[in-house]
Amino acid sequence: MSSPKVIFGFHAVGVRLKTAPKSVIEVLFDASRRDARMQQFKARAQDAGVRLVEADGLRLSKLSGSHGHQGVAARVEHIPQTHSIDELLEGLEAAGTMPLLLVLDGVTDPHNLGACLRVADGAGAHAVIAPKDHAAGINATVAKVASGAAETVPYFMVTNLARTLGELKERSIWCVGTSDDAPGTLYQSDLKRPLALVLGAEGTGMRQLTRKSCDALISIPMMGAVESLNVSVASGICLYEAMRQRAPGTA
């Protein structure tokens, strides 16, 4: 059995209390915080039957490895996740659900990854995929920034990203990458199909092999002076356009 892990911040701990309260071993809170938000949070933990432990800011910082804990942290058990991309896709196929995946190439900043997971959750993406050798892994900082999405969105780190894209295409999933020099734009693209949106890190973009593995390339229109967007912002724009196109009644 894997050892417990630590999550921190009101959103991350709150989502775990809501979605899997039995996995929460204990919640530590800063006893010096007596504001309404803390009182509401403690009441939620008590309603979930979770053990509350008083702690000071220093202990919380050491436990979470960050000063951004907001006065709350929790020791939690790992929740079993879908073990493979194949298992996930087979489940979606059985349910008659059209896949929506986010693929990140070269996103090594934990804050960017956390933000990408958050928008993926908000837009209803079924998973986020990244290469093992060129990406950030899930840690406490990612979980904090993701505001609970690290608990709800499967994150698969694969050995060979180009090969994985090839396998997605064999399953008739359209792999579309974003690039500043793409001839067509996001808003000219039909995203109402099994879809994997592929984005690279800001500045460097996708690696060449990843780019070549895509079925198509699209750009996000830029009207101002800046040449590119943060990868989490770009992910949100693309995922929400896909969600908009897929909405019932959308032409």
Binding site for S-adenosyl-L-methionine, residues? 200, 220, 229
For residue 195 the two structure tokens come to 């879809």
Q: Which amino acid is at 40?
A: Q
Distance between the two ends of the chain, CA-based, in angstroms? Answer: 49
Binding-site residue ranges: 200, 220, 229
Question: Mind giving me the DSSP string for 101-139?
Answer: EEEEES---HHHHHHHHHHHHHHT-SEEEEETTSSPPP-
Other CB atoms within 10 Å distance of the CB of residue 172:
9
Q: Which amino acid is at 48?
A: A
Q: Provide CB contacts within 8 A for 240, sequence distance 6+.
A: 119, 122, 123
* Cα–Cα distance measured from residue 118 to residue 97, given in angstroms and rounded to the nearest whole number: 21
Contact 94, 69 (CB under 8 A): no
Nearest to 52 by CA among 77, 78, 71, 79: 71
Which residue matches tokens 């943060």? 230
